[in-house]
Amino acid sequence: MDNRQGEHNEGYSSDFDKTKPEHSILDNSHPSSIATIKPPPGRRRVPRYREEGDNVGGERGCCVKCMCCCFCLWLLIILSLVGILVMLYSILQPRPPSFNIQYFQVNAFNLRPNFGNTTLTTEFFLTLKSQNPNKGIGFFYGRGSSVSMLYNGTTIISSGKLPTFQQTAESTNLMNVTLDGMSNFESELQDSLAENEKGGRIPLLVMVNSPAAVVLRSFPLREIAVFVNGSLVVDSLIPGRNPKILSSQYVCSVGL
């Protein structure tokens, strides 16, 4: 009977071993055994998500430190550039160039009726003198300039351009400029011109607008705009004569 019971137990244990799963669930108290057992085939591995708050404070602190370093670096660069500009300004003490008219010739100044209107045709020849008082700073006058002559400060009667040239530091240059134009000259302007010619005092305004590149020593810097307003009073505008400049006043400025 004992033999039968042993045989029965052996059969029962063998049957139990067959039905026993290949992968058993082990107790969490044995981490070494968990690490050596592979998950069953076909079973999806559940990703382990980082718990909220894990290492967030460290990353945030690192980003803040990087932002502070970048801000300090940019601030240092800006302060250095401002310091260099202030030092250069105090050493060089830049001033705008000056312009004035040295020679004035009237080649044409004709009033002609044109279908009920009066057309004024003009041609003037000017010699401009430009002075650069700066030490170590030069100017290069390029294209895009304009020179206009206005009668009584309101009506443009002639226009032209400056030649391109380079002006070195502490130098004086002479430029020849030809102005010409054709415009409608209304009756009010004709009466005003006749009265001014009779009195021998004709008001004119010469306006110069020219782009110029600033040259520091031999290094070109940014481009600026040079503005000149020259108020003149001449005795006559008779063609073929050189009018006498009775008075003149020039205002020169620079725009960025």
> pLDDT tens digits for 86-113?
776 666 678 889 999 999 999 999 999 8
Report pLDDT digits (tens) over 24-46: 444 555 555 444 555 556 555 55
pLDDT level of residue 58 (50, 70, 90 thresholds): low
Q: Is residue 21 part of a domain?
A: no
Q: Is residue 160 part of a domain?
A: yes
Report pLDDT digits (tens) over 9-28: 454 444 445 444 554 444 55
pTM as predicted: 0.66
Q: Is residue 139 part of a domain?
A: yes
Total domains in the fold of the chain: 1
Q: What is the mean pLDDT of the chain?
A: 81
pLDDT, mean of residues 192-216: 93
Q: Where are the alpha helices (DSSP H) in the chain?
A: 2-19, 31-36, 56-92, 187-199
Q: Is residue 221 part of a domain?
A: yes
Q: Is residue 152 part of a domain?
A: yes
Q: Is residue 81 part of a domain?
A: no
The residue range of the domain holding 163 is: 98-255
Q: Is residue 56 part of a domain?
A: no
Place of tokens 């502070």: 68
Q: Is residue 34 part of a domain?
A: no
Bridge partners, residue 172, by sequence: 131
pLDDT score, position 101: 95
